[in-house]
Structure 1
């Protein structure tokens, strides 16, 4: 579905080059086109294939409108909250994001669409005397609300599992 959507939407790939971020994490995939051109065996993570995990921002208005048909912004966010015009998709097998902080202007929400994922959180040094590291596990339908500017965070996907999440900011 995503491949067809990007290939049939004028300017979709260019929007990634003009300010939308593509994250390859620790894979050898450096563009969304490369993701969509992977051999079917790797896409499905068949035995002997290298696992992959990527993320990117959706900045193209037509792409956003189409993708938003498949999910809703969490209902419990404040009605007067501001939302960016970009939402991110993260998906792949067996990997995840290494421990990091995000440098974003707002709080973050992330909805687990498919598969499962473990989050590991560690507080910033300023909070270590009160805050403690912890982990939690998400499944499809779970939504995470987190200030990723104050919590170091990493994610991992169980071996053999495919994970897909939608992420955005609010504030």
Structure 2
């Protein structure tokens, strides 16, 4: 017997083959199996309440996928023309991406805080290192601080052809029942903007796809002063909601780091390191007040937000390279 094929390996190999054969008998194909698996993992990723559970899932899935690859390599002659049970292309990026370099967080006890920072310092320490930063009073010259609020956005969008401009643009309803940005704007009445205790909590986010609205918002904002000269900011993201839980813990599927400026209200960000860094890093948090900017690679850090009492929270952000 091949030394690599231990009894435990042969047992697992047999189970995997039987599982695949049974799936085929049940009229499933590898794409359907992969899609079902992906949906399961996606729901778990949204609903998970702590990273220990995520770690168990990641390790388990990682081992299963790795063993599947080993099995295919070891028994190539018998499975050469047979697909793996789960196609890796159907897995979410958080499961198949490269292992995180934990130097991004291993010595952080809190989110680094600056009252001011130069372009050179920011680029060296944070711009492309995946290390977060909070810059106080970074947008005091933005007119958005006095001109932009929820009702301004509502009027601006509803006066446009909102269905067309948001058709291919992301909208996040979070825990609300809103079906679209138009539905949210039409459903959120003045009573729903009530800030008294017991008032309904809602929180939404979206990317802007309209050039006219982008131009209007750009007139009230500027590229953050500390970003490197060569960096470019991309689509505008807007997040707004009442006091309470904002976004639950999650990780984004993006390629670039991003910044987010707090226009109204106060909001606490909680950043949790990826599972592979749990033994050397810890969860950190910081509260943004109007005028502050946080910089985070949301594709590396799991993150959640909490809106504080006293005001609706409104923030604007963008990815940058």
Is TM more than 0.5 here? yes
Alignment partners' CA distance in 2, 1:98 and 1:92: 13
More strand by share: 1
Moved more, 40-49 or 74-83: 40-49
Q: Which residue of 1 aligns with 2:203?
A: 53
Unaligned segments of structure 1, at least 5 residues: none
Q: Separation in 2 of the partners of 1:24 and 1:87?
A: 17
Give the Cα–Cα distance (whole angstroms) in 1 for the partners of residues 162 and 183 of structure 2.
14
Q: 1:146 aligns to what?
A: 296
Q: Does 1:101 align with 2:251?
A: yes
Counterparts of 1:6-155 in structure 2, within 5 Å, are 6-9=157-160, 11-17=161-167, 19-37=168-186, 38-45=188-195, 49-84=199-234, 86-94=235-243, 95-155=245-305
**How far 1:29 sits from its partner (Å)?**
1.8
Give yes or no for contact 1:123–1:133 (8 Å, CA) kept in 2: yes
Offset, 1:48:
5.3
Cα distance in 2, alignment partners of residues 110 and 160 from structure 1: 20
Report Cα offsets for 1:21-70 as digits up to 9, x if no partner. 01111012222222222222113345654221111110111110011222
Aligned to 1:70, the other structure's residue is in SS state: coil
SS in structure 1 at match of 2:205: strand
Moved more, 42-51 or 63-72: 42-51
Give ranges in structure 2 of 5+ residues lacking alignment. Answer: 1-151
- Maintained 8 Å contact 2:193/2:312: no
Does the Cα contact within 8 Å between 2:174 and 2:204 map onto a contact in 1?
Answer: yes
TM-score (norm 2): 0.49
For the pair 1:163 / 2:287, whether they are aligned, the reply is no
Kindly indicate which of the two structures has a greater share of residues assigned to helix: 2
Q: How many residues of Structure 1 are paired with residues of Structure 2 in the alignment?
A: 168
- Aligned partners of 2:223 and 2:233 also within 8 Å: no
Tell me: higher relative CO, structure 1 or 2? Use CA pairs within 8 A at least 6 residues apart.
Answer: 1
